[in-house]
């Protein structure tokens, strides 16, 4: 069964034609400076978390301990595999009354793609670990640690994510044609612009 990387949900909201170019046509593109900076920043956050960690718990153990002892626990780089999604969550906070799925971003804008990606993490987490608590999605600034958006993961979000995943799989399978973004401002910094133009934009 093919699983979609959760980061593709952000790509799909930005311009799903990027998915077609890279994963159907096989267009290669090197990382941008911002991508390299982001990888380094996430690595730094992971190392800081490891240094501060006091307990070694599985996700199930953390869920139980947070409720039983009424404490807040946190884990970073939590791998999730849902029915059709796979990825690593930047941070999961286990609280007595809820689970918070946190995605670190370089800015402070809750763009549709940012929200769509964190909802994907929420869905995969629910399917993977079946928490008996409500799940919340959170967007946080990668550099300052300031949270700038959050919301409960409800049935509408589950449906929205499932529909997007179905669309991506249909593009990969050739049953659906990927759409290019209509926002030309997104095209200027795109690392796939040359391939897109060559494909007949």
**45 has a pLDDT exceeding 60:** yes
* Distance, CA of 41 to CA of 162 (rounded, Å): 30
Name the pTM for this structure. Answer: 0.90
Lowest mean pLDDT among 48-52, 83-87, 119-123, 188-192: 48-52
pLDDT in tens, 1-20: 689 999 999 999 999 999 99
Q: Are 74 and 94 in contact (CB under 8 A)?
A: yes
CA 95 to chain centre: 21
- Strand, helix or coil at 12? helix
Q: 14 to each of 4, 8, 18, 133, how far by Cα in Å?
A: 16, 10, 9, 31
pLDDT in tens, 88-111: 999 999 999 999 999 999 999 999
To the nearest whole number, what is the mean pLDDT of the chain? Answer: 90
* Distance, CA of 64 to CA of 77 (rounded, Å): 19
Structural tokens at position 161: 């994510």
């Amino acid at each position: 069964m093919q699983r979609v990387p959760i980061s593709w949900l952000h790509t799909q909201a930005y311009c799903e034609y990027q998915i077609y170019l890279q994963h159907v046509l096989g267009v290669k593109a090197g990382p941008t400076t911002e991508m390299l900076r982001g990888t380094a920043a996430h690595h730094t956050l992971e190392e800081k978390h490891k240094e501060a960690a006091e307990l070694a718990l599985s996700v199930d153990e953390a869920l139980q301990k947070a409720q039983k002892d009424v404490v807040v626990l946190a884990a970073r780089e939590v791998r999730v595999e849902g029915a059709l999604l796979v990825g690593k969550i930047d941070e999961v906070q286990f609280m007595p009354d809820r689970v918070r799925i946190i995605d670190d971003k370089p800015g402070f804008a809750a763009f549709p793609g940012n929200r769509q990606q964190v909802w994907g993490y929420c869905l995969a987490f629910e399917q993977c670990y079946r928490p008996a608590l409500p799940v919340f999605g959170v967007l946080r600034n990668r550099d300052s640690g300031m949270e700038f958006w959050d919301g409960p993961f409800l049935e509408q979000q589950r449906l929205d994510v499932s529909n997007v995943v179905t669309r991506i799989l249909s593009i990969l399978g050739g049953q659906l044609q990927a759409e290019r973004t209509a926002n030309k401002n997104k095209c200027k910094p795109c690392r796939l612009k040359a391939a897109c133009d060559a494909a007949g934009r």
